[in-house]
């Protein structure tokens, strides 16, 4: 079987490529290395250094004829999306359309799309399920929701099979200190430099942090299950910024100093995703608790 992973030199994508190759897949990667790293590329994968919005990326799909496309390449930095909404749209919307347009000419078995809890915006619900109203408050969230709608319309018009996976905040080894859910990586980089940890607002804002290996397993399960569906990949558990810092104190031998600053524009106060549907449809569940995942992530850094 052949798979194409966009963003396969990046944080989640590189872990997915490793897992696919270990399962016997032939894997092609499209990545422009704007945030991905060459050292994360599995040597057994075939690498195409391309932007997903280009004609060259379109041609790769037609030439290689992958059975599955895992679309993970994205502009995933909320702050950057606010600073440059046009660049955000170009990558997350136009890039997705370019890939889908190639699938019109060559039918794939499934187009698995990495989306985000940012499509919901600020909500009052303790737990968000897939039927919850979407109301993004960042350009990033809006661009990912727009890409989702294009995927659905391409299916309705051209019968391109798809699965949309809305992630909680993914964390783990290889994550950079930029992008959505990157606070854990940011804090670990600060600790390496003996710098203070910045807490936006009161630190009580919560997220559903899901470990990268659990996300990888969900993507592989989604390749053959749950087509024409959208579902959450999450733990269904909330953790606050202050709780993350407490967890870091369990592993870090040095002093941890933190300070509070103003809330960040476009940030969501609370976000927790119900993963019941993914458990049922994909026969999947998160293996890593926040405690276990934080330990694995901390140990991946050189202190």
- Measured CA distances, 91 to 78, 84, 97, 279 (Å): 13, 11, 10, 30
pLDDT for 47 = 98
Distance of CA 261 to the CA centre of its chain: 26
pLDDT for 266 = 63
Burial (CB < 10 A; 0-12, 13-18, 19+), residue 274, is buried
Domains in the chain and their CATH numbers? 2-170+210-236+275-287 (3.40.50.720)
Confidence class for position 76, pLDDT limits 50, 70, 90: confident
Are 170 and 11 within 8 A, CB to CB?
A: yes
| pLDDT tens profile 90-141 | 999 999 999 999 999 988 999 999 999 999 988 878 899 999 999 999 999 9
Angle, alpha carbons 286-289-292 (nearest 5°): 125
Rounded CA Rg of the chain: 18
- Measured CA distances, 152 to 93, 102, 224, 263 (Å): 13, 15, 17, 35
Query: pLDDT > 90: what percent of the chain?
Result: 83
- Report the distance separating Cα 113 and Cα 179, nearest Å: 17
Collapse the DSSP code of 169 into the 3-class scheme (helix H, G, I; strand E, B; otherwise coil) and give the result: strand
Alpha helices in the chain (DSSP H): 11-22, 55-64, 78-83, 85-89, 95-105, 139-158, 183-192, 212-224, 241-251, 276-282, 290-299
pLDDT for 178 = 65
Lowest mean pLDDT among 211-215, 247-251, 267-271: 267-271
Region 22-50: what's the mean pLDDT? 97
Burial (CB < 10 A; 0-12, 13-18, 19+), residue 114, is buried
What does pTM read for this prediction? 0.94
Of 17, 38, 39, 37, nearest to 26 by C-alpha is: 17
Are 145 and 157 within 8 A, CB to CB?
A: no
Say yes or no to pLDDT of 148 above 60. Answer: yes
What is the rounded (10 degree) CA torsion for 287, 293, 297, 303?
A: -140
Say yes or no to pLDDT of 45 above 80. Answer: yes
Are 29 and 50 within 8 A, CB to CB?
A: no
- Report the distance separating Cα 216 and Cα 1, nearest Å: 17
Tokens (6 digits) for 62: 């037609």
Say yes or no to pLDDT of 302 above 90. Answer: no
pLDDT for 179 = 52
The residues, ordered by sequence, that sit 6+ positions from 237 with a Cβ below 8 Å of its Cβ are: 208, 272, 289, 290
Of 111, 110, 130, nearest to 120 by C-alpha is: 130
Region 79-87: what's the mean pLDDT? 84
Are 2 and 67 within 8 A, CB to CB?
A: yes
Indicate which residues carry an active-site annotation: 140
| pLDDT tens profile 168-205 | 999 999 998 765 458 999 999 999 999 999 999 999 99
Most confident option among 52-61, 79-88, 189-198, 200-209 = 52-61
Tokens (6 digits) for 203: 């630190």
């Amino acid at each position: 079987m052949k798979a194409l992973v966009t963003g396969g030199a990046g944080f989640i994508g590189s872990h997915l490529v490793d897992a696919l190759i270990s399962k016997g897949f032939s894997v092609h990667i499209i990545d422009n290395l704007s945030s991905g790293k060459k050292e994360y590329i599995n040597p057994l994968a075939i690498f195409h250094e391309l932007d997903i919005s280009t004609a060259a990326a379109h041609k790769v799909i037609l030439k290689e004829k992958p059975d599955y496309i895992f679309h993970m390449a994205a502009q995933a930095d909320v702050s950057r999306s606010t600073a440059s909404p046009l660049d955000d749209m170009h990558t997350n919307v136009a890039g997705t359309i370019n890939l889908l347009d190639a699938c019109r000419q060559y039918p794939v078995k499934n187009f698995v799309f990495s989306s985000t809890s940012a499509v919901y915006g600020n909500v009052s619900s303790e737990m968000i399920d897939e039927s919850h109203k979407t109301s993004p408050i960042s350009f990033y969230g809006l661009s990912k929701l727009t890409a989702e709608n294009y995927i659905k319309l391409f299916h309705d018009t051209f019968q391109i099979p798809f699965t949309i996976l809305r992630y909680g905040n993914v964390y783990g080894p290889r994550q950079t200190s930029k992008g959505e859910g990157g606070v854990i990586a940011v804090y670990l980089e600060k600790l390496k430099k003996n710098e203070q940890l910045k807490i936006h607002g009161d630190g009580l804002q919560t997220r559903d942090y899901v470990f990268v290996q659990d996300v990888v397993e969900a993507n592989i399960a989604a390749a053959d299950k749950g087509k024409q569906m959208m579902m959450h990949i999450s733990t269904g558990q909330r953790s606050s910024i202050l709780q993350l810092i407490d967890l870091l104190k369990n592993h870090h031998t040095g002093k941890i100093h933190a300070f509070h600053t103003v809330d960040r524009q476009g940030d969501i106060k609370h976000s927790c995703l119900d993963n019941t549907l993914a458990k049922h449809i994909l026969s999947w569940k998160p293996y890593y608790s926040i405690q276990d995942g934080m330990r694995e992530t901390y140990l991946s850094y050189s202190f």
